[in-house]
Amino acid sequence: MARAPARNKRRAECAWRRRARARAGPRRADAAEYTGQPAMTAATRLRAVLALGHERYAPLANRMRAAWQQRTLRERRLLSGAALLLAALLLWQAGLRPAIDTIRDARRQLPVLQAQAAQLHTVIIEAQALGRRRASTLPAGATAQALQAGLHNAGLNEVGHFSAQPNAAADAAQWRISFTRAPAGKVMAWLAGLPAIAQVQVKALELARSTVAGREQPGLLDGDVLLGLPDKAEAS
């Protein structure tokens, strides 16, 4: 008799759990149905858009496919080659050609800008050196030796031909350095260091990019640099 109340209690608990599950089941189903409704609506709309596009462009695609099937193998190859050629031309015009033109213009202008910058830098250094110049100017012979030594130290003795200008007085001596395929960086460094080598002035500067077989060589310069002793009015 003592077991009956416990058995009845377990039965009551089981019945209560079944009723709780029954009540919770429809709620979870409703929640799943509620959360799934927007996804189904979006999918339905996407299918409708795709179907509309297929209905609109399917006839055109069918006509193009039929026209392609009617072509011979040779005609198909010609059309494919023409399409590839057209795509390559569009790529060249839209992307590659402007970039190549920009690089070509930059390379063409770089030596001129470097020469101008070197000349300007040399003038600035000369102006600064006027305030701390030595009391007397070196003789022409010593100046020529100093310039030749400066070319050698700068690594330009093999690409720069040093020569004295004829018919020049001792106090107005001039020297010409002719460069052939000289590295632009070394030439600019040598020009910038001239005031420290000897008291000379740049009388003329004509430098341009080197050309070999009609093609410009980046980073190399050809041309002449004319140097001379300072004028007497400036030396005094």
- Domain of 159: which CATH number? 3.30.70.60
Residue 155 domain-assigned?
yes
For strands 174-183 and 160-164, give the pairing: antiparallel
Asked which of 121, 137, 153 is the last residue of a domain, the reply is 137
Residue 50 domain-assigned?
no
Q: What is the block-wise mean pLDDT of the chain (236 residues), using blocks of 10 residues? A: 62 71 54 47 79 78 81 83 84 77 78 71 58 54 84 88 75 86 89 80 88 84 88 54
The pLDDT assigned to 34 comes to 46
Report the amino acid identity of residue 164. A
The pLDDT assigned to 31 comes to 45
Please tell me the total count of domains within the chain.
2
Distance CA 14, CA 33 (A): 29
The pLDDT assigned to 167 comes to 62
Domain holding 161, by residue range, is 139-228
